[in-house]
Amino acid sequence: VLDYHWYLKNVENAFKLFGRSDLLAEVFYRPLLNLLFLIDAQIYGQKVYGYHLTNILIHLLNAYLVFLLLKGLRYSVSWAYLSALIFLVHPALVSAVSWIPGRTDSLLSLFAFFSFIAFQKFCQSKKWSFGLWHLLALTAALLVKETAIGLPFFCGLYVILIRKENVFERRYCLLECIWLVIAIGWFIIRKNLTDQNDTITWMIIYQSVFNNSSAFVTYLGKIILPVNLSVLPIIKDTQIIWGCAAILMLISGIVLSKSKDYGYLIFGLLWYVLFLLPSMVVSFLFHEYRLYLPMIGIFIVLLEIVGGRQARLSRWKFVVVLLLIVVFAGMSFIRSDNYKERFAFWKSAVQTSPHSPLAHRNLGAMYFLVDDLDKAEQAFRASAKLNFKEQMVHNNLGLIYMRRGNLVSAEKEYLLEIKFNPTYDNVYYNLGLLYYMQKKFDQAVQSWKKTIALNPLYIDAYKLLAVHYYNTRNLSALSYYVNQLKMRRVDYPLQYDQLLNQQ
């Protein structure tokens, strides 16, 4: 948010977001997510409390939509209301609310919930006004995160398993055709605007899902028994025993339940598994905010176990659920402290995921930012010990050496970073700074140009190239980079214009 504030503060970029890939990752197309960040930037500027406030508002809206969704599944008002309260205070969702990047899944869920509720209304009333709202929300969800592509499948399952109707009825067939058109259109736009990684094959995807399959169990444990939570969870440091206990509890509950409907059970389990499945693809981090949408599937299973469609809610069940809500709220309040400031976050990450190179690396970055170079180096070394090829570690060690004046060691670390991470823009920028300090101006220029080639939004590289060409009085090159800064609405010294006006 802060790194790209120069882009987000320009309201003219609102429409451009729909014609480009994601700001942070070129393999994604998520314009609506970035548009909301842009709107926040217009309102709050660089005051991060405003972005947190937006996250809270989204979460509150989602809790209400969960209530409507469950009520639409014919669960009693009491059970739907209590379930929405559990969702509101669930400790596993703290990261989706307290951590600004967690907005991805909460915003996706906002449109997914709305779309599914509108589809429920369409099925019940047969009014195409609800069908239109469903389609608009589905499209919006696709513009937030790719996971939304599975929503039409669950709408079809709802018709078959819950309503017990024929999915090939005329009104459903028409809607299915529109789903197909939306999906094809979205796929074509996404393919043309994103950087498709051809190295990710179906075999790699299969192996990734297989290797990460235990996360289905651990995530389940975090929903039902949320005691093994982390701000930066990895499989190696996540205890699977809680997930196994949760599975045993679910199986026992299903077997003993006298009011269960197998259609609902299958629907809920598939909702959990299939909406969680994309998180298993080529991923080593298992952020808990990814449970935001899949969690509703487990809620459906639990409601079947406790007889959630019965009109009457017994007093003892009400008391138990109320106590659970209070306990969850307390746990969430305590966990939110980990997101209050950067040191608390990354210290918690190292504590709960000690085998995560990323956690140690970013804790080192926090120490570097406050000029505690010794602790920063210690953290970076710990990260490199876990994974010598960890991205950014050697770049960061190079920064420490450069700060200490050891330019030879700094260059060695930068070149190691380039060897392991050749598309990392920052390392070329930093290497350029080092070469400039050594008066190797041509090499510095080439490094900064490489930075821009990798990331055309890297403003500091444009600035330093402009400084260099101003100092060398290369007017044509200076004019080019001044124009680049103007295009991006970035301030620059007036001396540049004065020199250019003299020619």
Q: Tens digit of pLDDT for each residue in 58-74?
A: 999 999 999 999 999 99
pLDDT (tens digit, 9 = 90+) per residue, 440-486?
999 999 999 999 999 998 999 999 999 999 999 999 999 999 999 99
pLDDT value of position 281: 76
pLDDT, average across residues 377-400: 97
pLDDT > 70 fraction of the chain, expressed in percent and rounded: 98
Predicted confidence band at 283 (pLDDT cuts at 50, 70, 90)?
low
Calculate the alpha carbon distances from 133 to 120, 155, 291, 469 in Å.
11, 14, 25, 55
Residue 1 in this model has a pLDDT that exceeds 90? no
CATH 1.25.40.10 fits 356-455, yes or no: yes
Predicted confidence band at 90 (pLDDT cuts at 50, 70, 90)?
very high
pLDDT value of position 39: 94
Predicted confidence band at 17 (pLDDT cuts at 50, 70, 90)?
very high
pLDDT value of position 313: 83
Q: Higher pLDDT residue, 78 or 24?
A: 78
pLDDT, average across residues 161-165: 95
pLDDT value of position 284: 55
pLDDT (tens digit, 9 = 90+) per residue, 409-440?
999 999 999 999 999 999 999 999 999 999 99
Calculate the alpha carbon distances from 97 to 84, 290, 344 in Å.
15, 12, 16
DSSP string of 375-430, one letter each residue = HHHHHHHHHHHH-TT-TTHHHHHHHHHHHHT-HHHHHHHHHHHHHH-TT-HHHHHH
> What does the mean pLDDT of the chain come to?
93
pLDDT value of position 5: 81
pLDDT, average across residues 367-383: 97
Domain ranges, ordered by start, for the chain: 47-195+210-339, 356-455, 459-503
Q: Letter for the amino acid at 151?
A: L
pLDDT value of position 186: 96
